[in-house]
């Protein structure tokens, strides 16, 4: 009998990935850049939200973050050392266009111009995300994403960046996780701008998607070289807690509002009828004008998928009621009983496989790249080392889940780990660490964690066999 302990992070399924599989790491501007008052950058909704008492852990903010704005060449060298071929980063809208309208801020664009050149010099492809939640505060003051005009402002801003970088950047993502922007920002109030208005959130959904379509139309028309356009959605696999009608309905509603409300208009040109009916029951209507759905339904060259966990749902609360205090149907998340990350998110890798297969079956032919996947754990730097075996196991199980989805027909072409480095984790401030690279926020010293070395060696093995 073989009594040797298995190697941490070993999973034979990973070795079935093709040598052409794309590997990357990802970040976002507000979480790492800092320098919020430098070179003409204007305020964003996150600058404002962070200064609203009680909204962010210990009153943390992104004023300095990882100081990437000043340490960019050092960080790109780190990226290069990991052996990845792609770096997904976001452009800060208020850095490029401080008030959300008008001409570009040359100093702001110059930073991303230097970043792209630095990446290419290290043999790493730049993957641009145009919007990762940092709406210019002036646009929020004018109504924000619930207002139709914001979609047009986004398209104008997108063209400023595209005109500056499209000679070297081949992959463009319009939005990161519009569900978070709309529902957490405008309904649940747990992210910037911190509003609590369900109707405003649903209006924001439509205008975010409209902004995606408008920007994609204009960028594709202006492209002078082969270019990929897409959008990144955060999604989970929703399943009923039991076979009861109430639980199946709860899972349908949850899946509809978090996944199909975005995929159907993007890939089918219409909103899902059952979700429209659910919204009507709450006296809410999507603000669709003639021609909007044709604009939203642009060809998708790559669908970014962000995955962290999956959920089971019940249509009955713990007291046996099927409606809440406002008379809305109950959609209660029921734990699987799995181990959790430091975010208290259950670790459900098979849900990742189920989600990717579900997307490929419901929307045939859409190419996917995993644009975020990773986990926060309570990392400890000891003797210059972060031995984060729990993160290695998380990454290994989820990369293997991607390989399993590919074996079942899902067209998944790459995987980007979230995140390159520890950073400002939104409402959690600096309390949660997702990075492959440890950041000492007092000294800004970067240290490769064991997970970074495992990821590097995994990429080398898959490519080199």
User: From CA 146, how far away is CA 151, in angstroms rounded?
Assistant: 9
User: From CA 32, how far away is CA 43, in angstroms rounded?
Assistant: 16
Tokens, residue 88:
């997904």
User: From CA 214, how far away is CA 208, in angstroms rounded?
Assistant: 10
Q: What is the DSSP string of 383-430?
A: TTB---HHHHHHHHHHHHHHHHHHHTT--EEEEEEE-SB----GGGTT
> Choosing from 177, 346, 393, 404, which is the catalytic residue?
177
Coil, strand or helix at 147? coil
Q: What's 373's DSSP letter?
A: -
User: From CA 181, how far away is CA 150, in angstroms rounded?
Assistant: 13
Quickly list H helices, 166-303. Answer: 178-179, 185-186, 198-222, 245-255, 261-268, 273-281, 292-296
- If we measure between CA atoms, which residue out of 305, 340, 146 comes closest to residue 231? 305
Distant-in-sequence, close-in-space partners of 419: CB < 8 Å, separation ≥ 6: 25, 26, 27, 31, 372, 374, 434, 435, 436
First-to-last CA distance in the chain? 29
b/e per residue, 130-169, with b = 16+ CB within 10 A? bbbbbbbbbbbeeebbbbbebbbbbbebbbbbbebbbeeb
- If we measure between CA atoms, which residue out of 12, 8, 112, 4 comes closest to residue 389? 8
> Choosing from 118, 372, 393, 425, which is the catalytic residue?
372
- If we measure between CA atoms, which residue out of 128, 124, 121, 40 comes closest to residue 82? 124
Q: Return the axis-axis angle of helices 389-407 and 349-362, rounded to nearest 10°.
A: 30
Q: Strands, DSSP E only, in 62-209?
A: 86-90, 125-131, 171-176
Which residue bears the tokens 């990075």? 435
Helix, strand, coil tally for the chain in percent (to 5): 40, 15, 40
Instruction: For residue 177, indicate whether it is catalytic.
Output: yes
The catalytic residue positions are 177, 372
């Amino acid at each position: 009998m073989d009594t040797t302990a298995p190697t941490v992070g070993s999973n034979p399924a990973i070795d079935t990935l093709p040598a052409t599989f794309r590997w990357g790491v990802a970040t976002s501007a507000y979480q790492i850049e800092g320098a919020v008052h430098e070179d003409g950058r204007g305020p964003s909704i996150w600058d404002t939200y962070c200064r609203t008492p009680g909204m962010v852990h210990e009153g943390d903010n992104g004023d300095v973050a990882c100081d990437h704005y000043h340490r960019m060449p050092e960080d790109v060298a780190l990226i290069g050392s990991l052996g990845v071929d792609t770096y997904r980063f976001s452009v800060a809208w208020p850095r490029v266009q401080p008030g959300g309208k008008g001409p570009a801020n040359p100093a702001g664009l110059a930073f991303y111009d230097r970043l792209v050149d630095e990446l290419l010099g290290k043999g790493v492809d730049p993957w641009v995300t145009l919007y990762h939640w940092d709406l210019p505060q002036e646009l929020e003051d004018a109504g924000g994403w619930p207002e139709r005009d914001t979609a047009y402002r986004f398209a104008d801003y997108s063209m400023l960046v595209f005109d500056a970088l499209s000679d070297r950047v081949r992959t463009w993502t319009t939005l990161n996780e519009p569900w978070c922007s709309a529902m957490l920002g405008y309904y649940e109030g747990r992210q910037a701008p911190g509003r609590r208005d369900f109707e405003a959130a649903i209006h924001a959904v439509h205008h975010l998607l409209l902004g995606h379509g408008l920007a994609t139309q204009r960028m594709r028309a202006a492209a002078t070289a082969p270019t990929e356009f897409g959008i990144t959605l955060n999604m989970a696999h929703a399943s009923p807690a039991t076979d009861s009608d109430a639980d199946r309905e709860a899972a349908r509603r949850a899946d509809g509002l978090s996944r199909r409300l975005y995929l159907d208009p993007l890939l089918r040109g219409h909103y899902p009828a059952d979700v429209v009916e659910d919204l009507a029951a709450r006296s809410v209507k999507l603000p669709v004008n003639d021609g909007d759905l044709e604009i939203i339904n642009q060809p998708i060259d790559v669908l970014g998928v962000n995955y962290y966990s999956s959920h089971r749902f019940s249509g009955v609360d713990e007291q046996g009621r099927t409606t809440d205090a406002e008379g809305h149907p109950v959609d209660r998340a029921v734990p699987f009983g799995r181990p959790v990350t430091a975010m208290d998110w259950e670790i459900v890798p098979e849900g990742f496989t189920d989600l990717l297969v579900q997307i490929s079956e419901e929307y045939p032919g859409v190419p996917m790249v995993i644009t975020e996947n990773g986990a926060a754990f309570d990392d400890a730097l000891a003797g210059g080392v972060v031995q984060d075996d729990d993160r290695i196991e998380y990454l290994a199980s989820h990369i293997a889940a991607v390989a399993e989805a590919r074996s079942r027909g899902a067209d998944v072409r790459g995987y980007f780990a979230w995140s390159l480095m520890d950073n400002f984790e939104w409402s959690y401030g600096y309390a949660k660490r997702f990075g492959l690279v440890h950041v000492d926020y007092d000294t800004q010293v970067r240290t490769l964690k064991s997970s970074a070395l495992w990821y590097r060696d995994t990429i080398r093995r898959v490519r080199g066999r």
